[in-house]
Amino acid sequence: MQLGGSVARRSPRSARDLRRKRGQRPPYDRVLIVCEGKKTEPQYLEEIRKINRVPPVHVRVVHAGRTQPRQIVDDAEALFNESREYEHVYAVFDRDDHATYHNALTRAEQLDNTLRNDEKKLVRFFAVPSVPCFELWLLLHFENVLAFFFAQ
């Protein structure tokens, strides 16, 4: 005895109907950030990554181990060349009174769109100087500072 009328029969599903649908959102770009600072910059950038819920496999923040801007750019290039697994490379350093500051900016500009990653795509390479220093940049983003300061 059937309740409520006739029972509709389902037609068997084809393999095409059972296939998984393709994702609509493109994957995250892989980013390498090489910093002058040992604690402040990496901690701040890691916190931004966490707040924006970007998985750590997509963003790698590394302390350069050296302090001259050109050395940081060179370290960023060397780290990229070890794996070639990034679409974007950033060299983060302070302006301060470094003798290699302008040289670092020029070298980063030369590297931009000349390196190729593991997928044979051109890589964006950026110098990210903080003038005069990263700590002031942080302060200005979190506090209303009205004091005058002179930047070179």
Q: How many domains does the chain have?
A: 1
Tell me whether residue 79 is in a domain: yes
Q: Is the pLDDT of residue 30 over 70?
A: yes
Tell me whether residue 50 is in a domain: yes
Q: What is the pLDDT of residues 48-107, one digit of tens each?
A: 889 888 888 899 999 998 889 999 999 999 999 999 999 999 999 988 888 999 999 999
Computed on alpha carbons and rounded to an integer, the radius of gyration of the chain in Å comes to 24
User: Is the dihedral angle over the CA atoms 80, 124, 30, 132 positive or is it negative?
Assistant: positive
CA–CA distance, 130 with 135 (Å, rounded to integer):
9
Residue pair 106/128 in contact (Cβ under 8 Å)? The answer is no
Q: What is the pLDDT of residues 103-132, one digit of tens each?
A: 999 999 999 999 999 999 999 999 998 877
Tell me whether residue 22 is in a domain: no
Tell me whether residue 5 is in a domain: no
Domain that holds residue 89: 33-142
Tell me whether residue 21 is in a domain: no
Residue 99 DSSP symbol? T
Residue pair 77/86 in contact (Cβ under 8 Å)? The answer is no
Tell me whether residue 6 is in a domain: no
pLDDT of residue 5: 57
